[in-house]
Amino acid sequence: MAHISYPFKKINKSVFQKPASVTTKDVIYWKKLGLPVLVKEFGAIDYIDFSPVEPHYFAATCSVRIQIYDPITKVVAKNISKFKEGAYGGSFRNDGRLLVCGSEEAAVKLFDVQSKNVLRLFTGHTAPVHRTFFTKDQVKVLSFSDDKSVCLWDIATEEKLATFSEHTDYIRAGAASPLSPDIILSGGYDHAVKLYDCRCNETILSVNHGSPVESTLFLPSGGIFVSAGGTEIKVWDLFNGGKLLANISQHHKTVTTIRLASNNSRLVSASLDRHVKIYDISTFKVVHNIDFPNAVLSMGISENDDVLAVGMIDGVISIRKRDQPVQASNENKGLFKFAPDHILSSPVDTVVTKSKVKTESEADKHLRKMEFTQALKIVLKPYVATKFPEKTIALLQELLRRKVLHVAMDGLEEKSIGALLRFFKKNLGETRFCRTIIDAANVFVDVFESRISLLTTQTKILYKAMQEELNGEIDVCKRVCELEGAIGLLLSAAQISNTVDSIENTDALAPSTKAQKEVIIDV
């Protein structure tokens, strides 16, 4: 029978090399936002809010007016300018018919979006009101003011239902709970984030953000809230007594706005450093970054992430709309029958690539000669083991596959044994190498277990250090499993659909007597 020879298979180290920067799904998804359309307004853009209903108009609050833009045409659809002084924090109700806004006049105004009439005028604050929101039941309004107070207003009666004056500095951030109309969140320049319960009219939780708070929001589960201020974004667990879950520090200037996107699975932050960063809620790692020409003050994202509107400090609004897939045109279809029978084309030059001469490494040469110990010594040299650990791992895996690793280790001298233990200890926590190192360490114990006492003191110390490192990795794995279970619970809660409750018909909501007296010419 004739002997069949097969070509020698070199060690494959490519599977252990660090992967190059890859284009992730998030990068592809967010890069589909088209080129920005820039619109110049008068004054800095204080706040941007999208209507929850189609066609998802967005309100940009700037100077003494609220500009309502059509995201498709990117032009102003409505202009509400019934303010004597600066307007702040205009936000839509969940049905898109009403809009509430604070002002420099220390008053809160409720508008009918269709007619632009002032339906309610809530007075009682003594300083400018910078943020206003509707509660979960959509029949009450929240206001956050520079007079260090948070007020709850009833839309039907135009009366103040509750006041909380727990802050010691301006209140520039707030949020309404997505689960209960009685839970309110506020953030102030006193570094405090406070949670109130309107049923007992008292503060039920207070945490220290560490910097003046610029923006806050609840996750859809209602049990986790996020605060942004300074260069940090912090995630807090409400049900665990305000425990800090994460501290995100990806910006190098003040974070001004945070929003949720991608069906509440992504957190988006804007900052004065001209960046908008997108984070994965499950890991709080940056998945994409968008740059802008100037410091960002406000930001809004429509449902389904179709439109991103960003307001900058110089009064420019950047509007990006997601590109729609272009359908192939059929106008030239069928013209092939008019083409000539023979189409002559010029020959295309053939490019001959220069072939690279493949060289064989020293380890492969020894491996070809069945000199396993010498091959192992080559990859345990300090330069190779430190600069190219994937080569060492690839050889260990090949020796394990051939079931000769114990033979290679048995022939090592004291110096190489120490180098092998140092390599195990250094790379045990590397996820690319962990499985191979554990298998190789088991072989090492089998080979040297009976003669550990015969090794030098330095080698024994390295062996003990490897054992401690292995025990530490086991503890880390246990904690990661616990964390995985906790994150799974949070993600399942975060996917609760944010449905809109039934809302009263706004056609029956007529302007109040106080609102009718507020006469301002709308230009």
pLDDT digits (tens, 9 = 90+) for 161-192: 999 999 999 999 999 999 889 999 999 999 99
Eight-state DSSP code of residue 178: S
Residue 463: CB atoms within 10 Å:
19
User: In which band, very low, low, confident or very high, does the pLDDT at 500 lie, cut at 50, 70 and 90?
Assistant: very low
Number of domains in the chain: 2
Residue 211 within any structural domain of the chain: yes
pLDDT one-digit tens code per residue, 19-72: 656 678 899 999 999 899 999 998 899 999 999 998 899 999 998 999 999 998
Distance from C-alpha of 254 to C-alpha of 268, rounded to nearest angstrom: 14
- Residue, of 118 and 357, whose pLDDT is higher: 118
* Mean pLDDT across 338-360: 63
Residue 157 within any structural domain of the chain: yes
Lowest mean pLDDT among 15-24, 275-284, 319-328, 450-459: 15-24
Residues 299 and 156 in one domain: yes
Lowest mean pLDDT among 16-20, 265-269, 271-275: 16-20
Question: Residue 496 above 60 pLDDT?
Answer: no
The conformational region for residue 142 under phi > 0 = left, psi -120 to 50 = alpha, else beta, is beta
Length of the chain measured in residues: 523
Q: Give the containing element (helix H, strand E) for 255.
A: strand 255-261
The conformational region for residue 435 under phi > 0 = left, psi -120 to 50 = alpha, else beta, is alpha
Q: List Cβ neighbours of 296 (8 Å cut-off, separation of 6 or more).
A: 256, 257, 270, 271, 272, 274, 275, 276, 310, 311, 312, 313
- The residue segments making up the domain with residue 108 are 25-323
User: In which band, very low, low, confident or very high, does the pLDDT at 432 lie, cut at 50, 70 and 90?
Assistant: confident
Over the chain, what is the mean pLDDT? 86
Question: Residue 505 above 60 pLDDT?
Answer: no
* Mean pLDDT across 127-139: 94
Residues 288 and 370 in one domain: no
Residue 295 within any structural domain of the chain: yes
Residues 400 and 255 in one domain: no
Q: What is the pLDDT of residue 304?
A: 87
Residues 301 and 224 in one domain: yes
Residue 384 within any structural domain of the chain: yes
pTM of the entire predicted model:
0.64
Beta bridge pairs of residue 215? 228
Helix axes 434-448, 414-427, angle to 10 degrees: 150
Residues 70 and 216 in one domain: yes
Eight-state DSSP code of residue 33: B
Q: List Cβ neighbours of 215 (8 Å cut-off, separation of 6 or more).
A: 173, 187, 227, 228, 229, 255, 256, 257, 258
Q: Whose structure tokens read 């975060």?
A: 494
Residues 277 and 370 in one domain: no
pLDDT one-digit tens code per residue, 74-97: 999 999 988 889 999 999 999 999
Residue 1 within any structural domain of the chain: no
pLDDT one-digit tens code per residue, 214-260: 999 999 988 899 999 999 999 999 988 899 999 999 999 999 999 99
User: In which band, very low, low, confident or very high, does the pLDDT at 306 lie, cut at 50, 70 and 90?
Assistant: very high
Q: What is the pLDDT of residue 280?
A: 93
Tell me which amino acid residue 251 is: H
CA-wise closest residue to 318 among 39, 31, 66: 39
The DSSP annotation for 301-313 comes to E-GGG-EEEEEET
| Neighbouring C-alpha atoms within 13 Å toward the C-beta of 331 | 2
Residues 465 and 409 in one domain: yes
Residues 150 and 286 in one domain: yes
- Residue, of 101 and 42, whose pLDDT is higher: 101
- Residue, of 6 and 470, whose pLDDT is higher: 470
Among residues 323, 344, 378, which one ends one of the domains? 323
Distance from C-alpha of 185 to C-alpha of 223, rounded to nearest angstrom: 12
Distance from C-alpha of 119 to C-alpha of 114, rounded to nearest angstrom: 12
Helices (H), 449-496: 457-494
Q: What is the CATH number of the domain that holds 383?
A: 1.25.40
CA-wise closest residue to 499 among 220, 259, 307: 220
Residues 317 and 457 in one domain: no
Question: How would you label 140-172 residue by residue, b for 16+ Cβ within 10 Å and e otherwise?
Answer: bbbbbbbbbbbbbbebeebeeebebebbeebbb
- Residue, of 452 and 69, whose pLDDT is higher: 69
User: In which band, very low, low, confident or very high, does the pLDDT at 151 lie, cut at 50, 70 and 90?
Assistant: very high
Most confident of the following: 277-291, 348-362, 447-461: 277-291
pLDDT one-digit tens code per residue, 371-419: 888 989 998 988 888 888 888 998 899 899 988 988 888 888 888 888 9
Residues 195 and 63 in one domain: yes
User: In which band, very low, low, confident or very high, does the pLDDT at 499 lie, cut at 50, 70 and 90?
Assistant: very low
User: In which band, very low, low, confident or very high, does the pLDDT at 362 lie, cut at 50, 70 and 90?
Assistant: confident
Residue 415 within any structural domain of the chain: yes
Distance from C-alpha of 104 to C-alpha of 146, rounded to nearest angstrom: 10
Q: What is the CATH number of the domain that holds 213?
A: 2.130.10.10
Residues 276 and 371 in one domain: no
Q: What is the pLDDT of residue 463?
A: 87
Percentage of the residues of the chain whose pLDDT score is greater than 90: 49
Question: Residue 332 above 60 pLDDT?
Answer: no
Q: What is the pLDDT of residue 454?
A: 84
Question: Cα–Cα distances in Å, from 486 out to 261, 439, 480?
Answer: 22, 30, 10
Residue 480 within any structural domain of the chain: no
Dihedral sign computed on CA atoms, order 17, 20, 23, 27: positive
Q: Whose structure tokens read 């609050």?
A: 61
Question: Residue 5 above 90 pLDDT?
Answer: no
Phi/psi at 419 (nearest 5 deg)? -65, -40
Distance from C-alpha of 56 to C-alpha of 49, rounded to nearest angstrom: 10
Residues 98 and 239 in one domain: yes
Q: Whose structure tokens read 């956050």?
A: 144
Residue 520 within any structural domain of the chain: no
